[in-house]
Structure 1
Amino acid sequence: MIYQGNAITVTRRDTPSGNNIAMLTFDLKDESVNKLSSAVVAELSEAVKAIQAENSLKGLLIASGKDVFIVGADITEFHTLFDKGEAYLEEMNLKVHDIFNAIEDLPFPTVTAINGLALGGGCEVLLTTDFRVMGDKAKIGLPETKLGILPGWGGCVRLPRIIGADNAIEWIAGGTENRADAALKVGAVDAVVTAEQLEEAALDILDRANAGELDYQARRAEKTSPLKLNPIEQMMAFETAKGYVAGKAGPHYPAPVEAIKVIQKGAGEERGRAQAIEAKAFAKLALSSVAFNLVGLFLNDQVVKKKASKYEKQAQPVKQTAVLGAGIMGGGIAYQSASKGTPILMKDIKDDAIELGLKEARKLFAKQVERKKLTTEQMAEKLTNIRPTLSYGDFGNVDLVVEAVVENPKVKDAVLTEVEGMVGENTILTSNTSTISINRLAQNLKRPENFCGMHFFNPVHRMPLVEVIRGEKTSDAAVAATVAYARAMGKTPIVVNDCPGFLVNRVLFPYFGGFSFLVEQGADFQHVDKVMEKFGWPMGPAYLLDVVGLDTAVHANEVMAEGFPDRMARDGKTAIQVMYDNDRLGQKNDKGFYAYEEDKKGKPKKVTDEAAYALVKEVVKEHKEFSDEDIIARMMVPLCLETVRCLEDGIVATPAEADMALIYGIGFPPFRGGALRYIDAMGVAEFVKLAEGLADELGALYAPTDKLRQMAQNNEQFYSSDNSATQA
C-alpha cells in the first residue's frame, strides 16, 4: 500500500510485462458516487506526493471503485467557497493546478480507466494523464458553463490541446456529456472497450509506452505547449465561435463566451500561464449572481430529486396505466408513457378523438426518428405500448389511471366515478386538472384515499414538471405511486397540497393580474412583453396568454377569483376578458393579443394586430408612463408574493420545491434562481418596501404578508448562504 485515505487508495500493481506500477483508485467511503470535495482534493495531493516518493514505479493507472468515475466537484461546497472571494478562488484553483500538473509531470507513463460518468473536475483529472481508456457505456464532459462558471482545473487548457480548439469549444461552451464513440472520434480517449476489459486495456497501454511503442513524452509536450494554430486559424476558430455561442446562450448566460475567451487567451501560452488565465476567469465568473443562482438551481434540483426518490422507494410498481380522454393532451401523455416503457391504454368515447391522440403520439415518435434518437423499428415497438380502446374491458389490470378529459368539474366527476367502478381496489386514480380542487373531485369517490392530482404541463413531451396534488384524504401510497410513475415518464414530480390553482397556476395568475393593471393604466402590452423577455422570461405575458389560450386563462382566473377574492377578484373587465369576449383565443384561432401566421416551418409566428390594440382601449382607464423598472416591479412582485403565500400556507413544503416548480412549470428565468431566491437577492426588507409602495396604489395583490414583514425586520432570508432553506 502506497497511500490509504478516505476517498483514495494507491496500491502497487504488476502489468502483464512485469512493470511495477501504482494504481490510484477513487472510492469515496459512505457515498454512492465519487466527488472532488475539498477533503478529497487534499487527499489527492497527499497521494500524488506518496507516488512521487516511490523510486521503482514504471507507470500510474487512475481508476474508480464505483460505477461512475468522478461526477465532478462537490457542488454543495460552492456557495461557501464563492463567499470567500475572488482572490481565494484564484489561489485555490492554482493549488489544484499544482496537484494536477504533478500527475502530468510524473517520470513515467500514466493512463486513466474511465468506467462511468466523468464530469467537470472528474474529466479534468483524466485529462492530466498521457492516455485514456473508456468504457463503452461511460460519458465524459465539462458541464461547468451550465452552472454559470467555466472549467477551472485545466479543462480550458488541456482539452483544446488534446482534441483541437473547435471540438473543445463545442464541448465546453455546450456543457455536453459525450458518449464513448464521440470521445474516441475526436481523440479525447485512445480506446473504447467494455467495462470488463478496461483495466486490462489500461495496463496494456502502460506496457506499450514503457516498451517505446507509444510516445507518452510527445503527448505531454503537446499538452503543455501553446496551441498549434497560426493567427488566422485562431481568428477563424475563436471569433466565429464567440458570435455563434453568444447568440445561442443569450445575454444572461456569459459563461460559454467567457470560456471561449479563456481558451483564446491561453492558446499562445505554455501551460502555467494558460492555467493562470483560466484560474482568474473562473474566480471572476464564480462571484456573479448568475453562477450563484445556477448553482442554487442545481442544489434545489437535488432536493427535489431526493424527495421524489424517497416516495419512489415506498411505491408499489406501476406496470400498466391508462389515460382517459385522448386528443392532444391524452396523446401527449400516452406518448410520454409509452416512450419511457410503461404500457398505457388510451380510452375515449369517440373514434375521432382516439385517432387524434394516436396521431399526436405518432407525430412525436416520428420527430424522434427524424432526430435519429430512434430507429423506425424502435418507433414501431414503442407504439405498441399504446393500446387505444373505446371500452373499460382491460381496466381491471391497470395500476394507475390519468383522467385527462375537459376542464369541467361535472364531466370530470362523472368520468372519475365511472372508472372507479371498473378498476381494482388498489388502482390509483389521478386527475390531470390544472385548477379544479382535488378535494372537490374526491367527494363522490368511494376510495378517495386512492385519488390525487397529476397535473401535466403543455406540451407534455417538453415540459419537465408534473404537480402531484395531495387532497385531504389522499394516502401516502397514492402519492408515492403517482410520483414513481411521473419519474418513470422522465418527469420531475413536485408534491403540493390542494388549493385553487395548486402551486404553479396560483402563482402565475397574480403575474397576469399585474399585467392587467399595467394595461389598464395605459402600458403598451407589446412593450411589456419586450421588457419581461429582456428580464429573462421565454415570452412576455401577452404572448404567454396567447399560447395558454385566452379561454383557459379566463376559466382559471374565475377559479382564482373565487378562491382568493380579496386579491384576485377584479371589478370590471380586464384586457384578458375583452380578448375572450371577442373570440380572440390566442394561438388556438390565430388571434389574441397578437395575430398569428405560419412561418416556414409551419409554426405560428406572432405579428402586430391593430384590432387587438383597438379592443384593449376599452379597458384603459388612464395613461401613465412606466419605466422598465416599474414594469418589472409590477409584474414580479405579485408573482413572488403569491409564492411566499404558498410556502406559508403549506401548499409547497420548501423554498427549493417552490422555485423549481416555477422554473420547470412556467419558465421562470433560471439564471435568477426562482421567485424566493429573487427576493433574497433583492433583500427581503427591500422587497417588502417595494411591495408596500405598490400596495398603497394597487391593493391587496401587492400587499406583503405579516410573516414576510417579520422576516424583513429580523433580516432573514429564504435560503442561508449554504443554500439550505431557512424558512419552511
Structure 2
Amino acid sequence: MTQYESSNERPSAFSLSYSENGVAWLKIDVPGEKMNTLQSAFADQVSDVLAELKTKKDIKGMVVYSGKPDNFIAGADIRMLDACTTAEEAQQLATKGQELFAQLETLPFHVVAAIHGPCLGGGLELALACHSRVCSDDDKTRLGLPEVQLGLLPGSGGTQRLPRLIGVASALDMILTGKQLRAKKAKKLGVADEVVPHSILLEVAEKQALTEKPKRKHSFQDWAMGGNALGRSVVFDQAAKKTHEKTRGNYPAADAILEVIKYGLQHGVKKGLQQEAKRFGELVMTPESAALRSIFFATTAMKKETGSDAQPAKISKVGVLGGGLMGGGISHVTATKAGYPVRIKDIANDGIQNALAYNFKLLDKKCKRRIINKAELQSQMMQITGGTSFKGFANVDVVVEAVFEDLDLKHQMVRDVEQKTSPTTIFATNTSSLPIHQIAAAAERPENVVGLHYFSPVEKMPLVEVIPHLGTETGAGTSAETIATAVALAKKQGKTPIVVADKAGFYVNRILAPYMNEAASVLLSGEPIEHIDNALLDFGFPVGPITLLDEVGVDIGAKISPILLAELGERFKAPDVFDLLLNDGRKGRKSGKGFYLYNAKQSNAKKKEVDKTVYKLLSLEPKQKAAGLDIALRCTLMMLNEAARCLDEGVIQSPRDGDIGAIFGIGFPPFLGGPFRYMDKLGAKRVVELLTEHVDKYGERFTPCEKLVAMANEEQSFYG
C-alpha cells in the first residue's frame, strides 16, 4: 500500500493521505490523547478534509481509520456539554455534527470505516454515516450508542440511521440500553458488514472501498407485520412498556429516544434529525443528565488514582482462602479479568469443587453466548487451581481471605498465611463487618494486612472498598505500598475501588444499615411488603429493601446489626424482627424461605409473590396507609444523614467517593448523582428540615448530624 501525504497537511486530529490505486485514507488521531474523542473544535478540521476531498476527481473510495493502537473513537468529549449554558447551545453542537456526517454520507465514492477497538457514541454515529463498516475480531472492538447512560440520546444521526440499517426493534434495544456489541454480534445484527483479523483490517477495508457503493434498502425485517403502521405501533408500545418497567419515569432520555425514533419514521429523516438535535439539547440541560455525567467524570478521575503515594508491588499470582460464593467470585475476576493465576484453599474438597464449578458455569455461559470459545474457556479454567492444603501458596503475592465472619478463624488464617508465604505477601481480608485492625492484631507483619471488601455477586458488582488499618498495639498500620497494591489489584479485576477508614461497617454497610432498619420499621407499622419495595423502586433504587434483605440473607443482617449498634450507638438498633425470622428458618432466598416465596413454581414466575405467612409470624395485618414517596423519603433520609456523618468522621475521603460508593455498592439512584449530590440538590437546609420533621414523627434516630446542621446554618454545599 503506497501512500503519500496531502500537500496541505497540518497538525490536526484528521489527516488525509492517498494511495496510487485511488483510495483516500482518512486517519483520526487526536494529538496528545490516549483515546480518540470527538470535540467541537474538530468541526473546522473535518470541514477542511471534506472540502479537500471535493477537489479530488480521481478518488475511487475512502477508508476511515484510527491512528491509535487500540481504539477507533470512544465517543464525544463529554466536557464540551458541561460548557453549554442553554439547550440551544447543546442543540447547535448536535446540528453541527449531523451536518458534517451528512456530508460524509453524500460523498460520491465508497466510504468504509475500518474499526478496531471501542467505536462508541459519536464514533459509531460517524461509522454509520460511512457506507460500510469492517471490524476487527479483537475482543477490544465494541460498537454501541451508550448516550442513554449519560441521560442523553445519540445526537449526530444515530436515532435515524441505526433503525433504518438494522430495523426498529434491534435499534431500540441498542439505544435504550446503551449496550455494546462485540464485532460478531454487530455483523449478525447488520451494524457491521465484515469481521476480520486485526492484521488484515486495513487491507480488507481498502478492497471494500474500491467496490461500488452499497445500495441499502431500509430494514423492515424487525417491524412487525411488514413495517405497517399497526406493526410499528406494537413495537413501540412494547418497547415503551419494557422501558418504563426499568426506568419508572426517572430517566427522561429513554422517553425522548422512543419519541425521536418514532417521529423520524413518521416524518422522514430530515425532520427526524431536527427533532433529534432539539431533544438532545433539552436533555443536556436536565438535572438527570448532569448527575449521570458527574458519575462519568468521577469514575474517569478515579481510574488515575492509586490510593497512596507509593508504587504498587508487582503481582504475579494470587491466593484465595475459601471456596464459597465470595471465594468463587473473587477467583473468577482475578483469573478472567486481571489475568492472574489463582490458587484456592478450602478446608474441604467440596469447597474447591464448588468454586471450580462456579467458575465453569460463568465461563460456559460466555461460551454459549459466543463471547469466548472453548479454547479460551479451557485456558481460563486452567488459571484456577485449588486444594485443601497451602501447597502452591509459597509464591503468591496477595492472599484474599473469604472465610466465615469469625475473628478467631481469621486470626488463624493470618498466622497460617504468614507461615506459608513470603514476607512480602499481602493479606487482604474480605470482611464486611469485622474491624481490620482486630484481624491484623494476630499478624507478625500488620503492615501487609488490608481490607478488600467485595460485594456479592462479585463478578457483577463494580465496587470494592479498600480498608487500611491505622495499626495495632504491637505493630504498624497498613503500608502505603500495600494500599496501592490492593487498589491496583481491584482495578485489574475490573472494579472501582474506594479507600475507606477502618470503622464499623466501613462506608457502604454503614449507610445501608439504617436504611434497611427503617424499611423494617415501616413494615412493622403495617405497610405491605410489596408497597415498601415498590416505593423504593419508584424512587430509583434497583431493588426494594425487603427484597434486598432476602437476597443478602436475614442471618447476615442479624450478624452485622449488633456490631454497628455496639460501635455507633442507638440509632443503629434494628427492629425486633431478625430473631423471629431466623427462628422460623427464614434466612431469605438461600434457605428458600423469606419475605417472598421461592418455590420452584414461583422461581419461574415473572413477578415474585409475597409469602403472606410472614405477616402472621410478625403479628401484622398489612394495610397500605402511607404514600410511596413518604416511605421512600423516610428510608432514604436515614442513609443521607449517615453518609454525611461518614464524611465528617473521615470514613470516606470526599463526597465524590461517597457518591460512587453508594451508587456502585448499593444502587443509590444514579440519576440523583449519589447521596451528596442529592443533598446538594435539596439543599442542606431542606435536608435538616426534613430530618427534624421525621424526628417529631418517628423518633430521635432522625436527629440531623452536626455537619448537616452547620452546613445549613452557613448555607454550604458538599460540592461547592
Q: Compute the TM-score of the two structures, normalised by the length of structure 2.
A: 0.88
The reply on whether 1:592 has 2:599 as its aligned counterpart is no
Deviates more, 1:440-449 or 1:462-471: 462-471
* CA distance, structure 1, for counterparts of residue 554 and residue 223 of structure 2: 56
Distance change in 2, residues 1:95/1:339 (3 Å): closer
CA deviation vs aligned residue, 1:574-621 (integer Å, no higher than 9, x gap): 233432355432223333334432347579985433442233338x9x
Asked if 2 retains the 8 angstrom alpha-carbon contact of 1:78 and 1:295, the reply is no
What is the Cα-based RMSD across aligned positions, in Å? 3.4
The reply on whether 1:324 has 2:321 as its aligned counterpart is yes
The reply on whether 1:613 has 2:588 as its aligned counterpart is no
* CA distance, structure 2, for counterparts of residue 629 and residue 230 of structure 1: 38
What is the SS of the residue equivalent to 1:158? helix
* CA distance, structure 1, for counterparts of residue 310 and residue 113 of structure 2: 35
2:19 paired residue number: 14
Shift of 1:427: 0.3
Distance change in 2, residues 1:234/1:609 (3 Å): same
* CA distance, structure 2, for counterparts of residue 229 and residue 587 of structure 1: 40
Asked if 2 retains the 8 angstrom alpha-carbon contact of 1:234 and 1:264, the reply is no
1:169 paired residue number: 172
Q: 1:551 aligns with which of 539, 551, 555?
A: 555
Deviates more, 1:55-64 or 1:119-128: 55-64
Q: Which ranges of structure 1 fall in alignment gaps of 5 or more residues?
A: 209-213, 720-725
Letter of the 2:257 partner, please give it. Answer: A
Distance change in 2, residues 1:407/1:114 (3 Å): same
Asked if 2 retains the 8 angstrom alpha-carbon contact of 1:453 and 1:467, the reply is yes
* CA distance, structure 2, for counterparts of residue 171 and residue 583 of structure 1: 43
CA deviation vs aligned residue, 1:499-556 (integer Å, no higher than 9, x gap): 1011110110110232244345444444222211222223322222222222211111
Letter of the 2:300 partner, please give it. Answer: Q
* CA distance, structure 2, for counterparts of residue 318 and residue 312 of structure 1: 18
Deviates more, 1:708-717 or 1:681-690: 708-717
CA deviation vs aligned residue, 1:376-419 (integer Å, no higher than 9, x gap): 55444433333222222332111111111211112211221232
1:478 paired residue number: 482
Asked if 2 retains the 8 angstrom alpha-carbon contact of 1:124 and 1:154, the reply is yes
5 Å-filtered alignment, 1:650-661, equals 650-661=650-661
The reply on whether 1:140 has 2:143 as its aligned counterpart is yes
Distance change in 2, residues 1:43/1:641 (3 Å): farther
2:474 paired residue number: none
* CA distance, structure 2, for counterparts of residue 9 and residue 28 of structure 1: 8
Asked if 2 retains the 8 angstrom alpha-carbon contact of 1:103 and 1:128, the reply is yes
Q: 1:505 aligns with which of 483, 500, 509?
A: 509
1:722 paired residue number: none
Distance change in 2, residues 1:6/1:703 (3 Å): farther
Deviates more, 1:659-668 or 1:472-481: 659-668
* CA distance, structure 1, for counterparts of residue 463 and residue 489 of structure 2: 13
* CA distance, structure 2, for counterparts of residue 228 and residue 445 of structure 1: 62
* CA distance, structure 1, for counterparts of residue 665 and residue 428 of structure 2: 19
5 Å-filtered alignment, 1:537-686, equals 537-569=541-573, 574-599=576-601, 607-617=609-619, 625-686=625-686
What is the SS of the residue equivalent to 2:80? helix
Asked if 1 retains the 8 angstrom alpha-carbon contact of 2:553 and 2:589, the reply is yes
2:701 paired residue number: 701
Shift of 1:467: 1.5
What is the SS of the residue equivalent to 2:305? helix
Letter of the 1:580 partner, please give it. Answer: L
Q: 1:440 aligns with which of 423, 438, 452?
A: 438
Asked if 2 retains the 8 angstrom alpha-carbon contact of 1:2 and 1:50, the reply is no
Shift of 1:235: 3.2
What is the SS of the residue equivalent to 2:304? helix
Deviates more, 1:98-107 or 1:310-319: 310-319
* CA distance, structure 1, for counterparts of residue 597 and residue 161 of structure 2: 51
Distance change in 2, residues 1:363/1:204 (3 Å): closer
Asked if 1 retains the 8 angstrom alpha-carbon contact of 2:168 and 2:222, the reply is no
Letter of the 2:272 partner, please give it. Answer: A
* CA distance, structure 2, for counterparts of residue 44 and residue 256 of structure 1: 31
Asked if 2 retains the 8 angstrom alpha-carbon contact of 1:547 and 1:587, the reply is yes
Shift of 1:142: 1.6
CA deviation vs aligned residue, 1:605-641 (integer Å, no higher than 9, x gap): 85433442233338x9x99942223211210011012
What is the SS of the residue equivalent to 1:401? strand
Q: 1:242 aligns with which of 233, 236, 240?
A: 236
What is the SS of the residue equivalent to 1:39? helix
* CA distance, structure 1, for counterparts of residue 464 and residue 545 of structure 2: 22
Letter of the 2:153 partner, please give it. Answer: L
Distance change in 2, residues 1:58/1:666 (3 Å): same
1:723 paired residue number: none
Shift of 1:718: 3.0
Asked if 1 retains the 8 angstrom alpha-carbon contact of 2:90 and 2:281, the reply is yes
Shift of 1:32: 0.4
* CA distance, structure 2, for counterparts of residue 302 and residue 434 of structure 1: 27
What is the SS of the residue equivalent to 1:25? strand
Distance change in 2, residues 1:60/1:360 (3 Å): closer
* CA distance, structure 1, for counterparts of residue 417 and residue 400 of structure 2: 11
Asked if 1 retains the 8 angstrom alpha-carbon contact of 2:35 and 2:73, the reply is yes
Asked if 2 retains the 8 angstrom alpha-carbon contact of 1:148 and 1:254, the reply is yes
Distance change in 2, residues 1:562/1:184 (3 Å): same
* CA distance, structure 1, for counterparts of residue 224 and residue 614 of structure 2: 57
Asked if 2 retains the 8 angstrom alpha-carbon contact of 1:312 and 1:481, the reply is no
Letter of the 1:325 partner, please give it. Answer: G
* CA distance, structure 1, for counterparts of residue 668 and residue 564 of structure 2: 20
* CA distance, structure 1, for counterparts of residue 330 and residue 606 of structure 2: 23
Shift of 1:196: 4.3
* CA distance, structure 2, for counterparts of residue 674 and residue 371 of structure 1: 34
Asked if 2 retains the 8 angstrom alpha-carbon contact of 1:329 and 1:404, the reply is yes
Asked if 1 retains the 8 angstrom alpha-carbon contact of 2:17 and 2:26, the reply is no
CA deviation vs aligned residue, 1:234-292 (integer Å, no higher than 9, x gap): 43653333234334432334534542432232125454222112212323333444333
* CA distance, structure 2, for counterparts of residue 358 and residue 201 of structure 1: 41
Q: 1:466 aligns with which of 448, 460, 464?
A: 464
Distance change in 2, residues 1:364/1:59 (3 Å): closer
* CA distance, structure 1, for counterparts of residue 670 and residue 436 of structure 2: 30
Q: 2:336 aligns with which of 329, 335, 339?
A: 339
Letter of the 2:117 partner, please give it. Answer: G
Distance change in 2, residues 1:40/1:718 (3 Å): farther
Shift of 1:438: 0.5
The reply on whether 1:78 has 2:75 as its aligned counterpart is no
5 Å-filtered alignment, 1:179-198, equals 179-198=182-201
Asked if 2 retains the 8 angstrom alpha-carbon contact of 1:127 and 1:155, the reply is yes
Shift of 1:72: 0.7
Asked if 1 retains the 8 angstrom alpha-carbon contact of 2:220 and 2:226, the reply is no
* CA distance, structure 1, for counterparts of residue 264 and residue 184 of structure 2: 28
Asked if 1 retains the 8 angstrom alpha-carbon contact of 2:529 and 2:610, the reply is no
Asked if 1 retains the 8 angstrom alpha-carbon contact of 2:602 and 2:609, the reply is no
Q: 2:294 aligns with which of 293, 296, 301?
A: 296
* CA distance, structure 1, for counterparts of residue 528 and residue 365 of structure 2: 38
Q: Compute the TM-score of the two structures, normalised by the length of structure 1.
A: 0.87
5 Å-filtered alignment, 1:107-146, equals 107-137=108-138, 138-146=141-149
* CA distance, structure 1, for counterparts of residue 165 and residue 323 of structure 2: 52
CA deviation vs aligned residue, 1:616-667 (integer Å, no higher than 9, x gap): 338x9x9994222321121001101212222222222232322222222222
Asked if 1 retains the 8 angstrom alpha-carbon contact of 2:137 and 2:197, the reply is yes
Asked if 1 retains the 8 angstrom alpha-carbon contact of 2:223 and 2:235, the reply is no
* CA distance, structure 2, for counterparts of residue 90 and residue 295 of structure 1: 17
CA deviation vs aligned residue, 1:463-509 (integer Å, no higher than 9, x gap): 22222211111112212222232233333322222110111101101
* CA distance, structure 1, for counterparts of residue 704 and residue 537 of structure 2: 26
